[in-house]
Chain A
Amino acid sequence: MERHITPFRTYLLVYLSLILLLAATVGAAFLDLGFLNLIITLAIASVKALLVILYFMHVRESEPATKLFVIAGFIWLIILMGLTLTDYLTRCS
């Protein structure tokens, strides 16, 4: 059985992307884009999270069962937040 040894180059590229995205998220916070600010911030954070999960945590090359658990974890989080929002966003004050 072959073991996966990810090349050093891959890790370095992922790391440099993460630092660039950090600079981007700090920079974007100083622009006044209204509601777009929150969307950009969350989008950048999600891309960073995805890079860490797929490459640093090796989920990209993990077994199907592991992938299933990873996805399930975040789906439950979406359910938690989504159902809570259906309440708060539809209240008439």
Chain B
Amino acid sequence: MSEKTTLQVHPHNPYAAGEAQASLNTLGMWVFLTTEVMFFGGLFTGYMILRLLYADTFAEASRHLDLIAGAVNTFILLTSSFSMALSVRAARLGKNFALFFFLFITIMLGTAFLGIKFYEYYLKFQEGLIPTASFVYEGENPGQARLFFSLYFIMTGLHAVHMIIGIFILSIAALMALFKRFSETRYAPIETIGLYWHFVDLVWIFLFPLLYLIDRT
């Protein structure tokens, strides 16, 4: 059982397996993730400036968001990151069934997150807080509140799109794990997917306090 993994390096394909491929994939994935940092970064910068200019309205509009739903969703997403980390660990150990199990848990948690998120959207729709022609806001500055809700829907919506893509890729990986397509020398794809999933979690770690917790006193 304590057999050491030997790296099979082929002269024409030196990154074919194991550690070498995993570290290259990791680097490549981080190059992509830096572009994602800037992609979301533009929205966060826009948020920063608008909150700076309209601090009072942003605080007031933020109280219209459902704090409990947001906190529960953060808990769910952090838990899904934990199960994703355990998926990567199972993949590194070459345990296909444990990998399938943890990927399945991650997919379920991700789906639960989206369910709660869309329920929140539905509530906002009922309150008339979707920034369209039918936007209704009973505060002093409906125009500024409209900006807050535009940011809220664009940022959480873009985040939700990332979650949907992630769940789709995780489902393919889970199926592959079920058919024992991974091993101690072939786990790089799971590492890469893991990085993507954790990044989506990372975005939410900042979105939750910035959107839901501006001023609750």
Contacts and interface: CB of A to CB of B under 8 A. Distances in A.
B38 A56 contact: no
A63 B180 CA distance: 29
B1 to A, nearest CB: 14
Interface range, B side: 35 or more
Given A69-B31, A88-B49, A88-B52, A26 B93 contact: no
Contacts of B27: 63, 65-66, 69
A25 B71 CA distance: 10
Nearest to A84: B45
B74 interface: yes
Contact of A52 (B38, B45, B198): B198
Interface in B157-198: 184, 191, 194-195, 198
A52 B45 CA distance: 22
Nearest to A29: B213
B95 to A, nearest CB: 11
Question: Binding site of A, secondary structure by majority: helix, strand, loop or mixed?
Answer: helix
B5 interface: yes
A73 B41 CA distance: 10
Interface of B: 5, 7, 18-19, 23, 26-27, 30-31, 33-34, 37-38, 41-42, 44-45, 48-49, 52-53, 67, 71, 74-75, 78-79, 81-82, 84-86, 88-89, 92-93, 184, 191, 194-195, 198-199, 201-202, 205-206, 208-210, 213, 215-217
Interface of A: 1, 3-6, 8, 11-12, 14-15, 18-19, 22, 25-26, 29-32, 37, 41-42, 44-45, 48-49, 52-53, 55-58, 62-63, 65-66, 69-70, 72-74, 76-77, 80-81, 84-85, 88-89
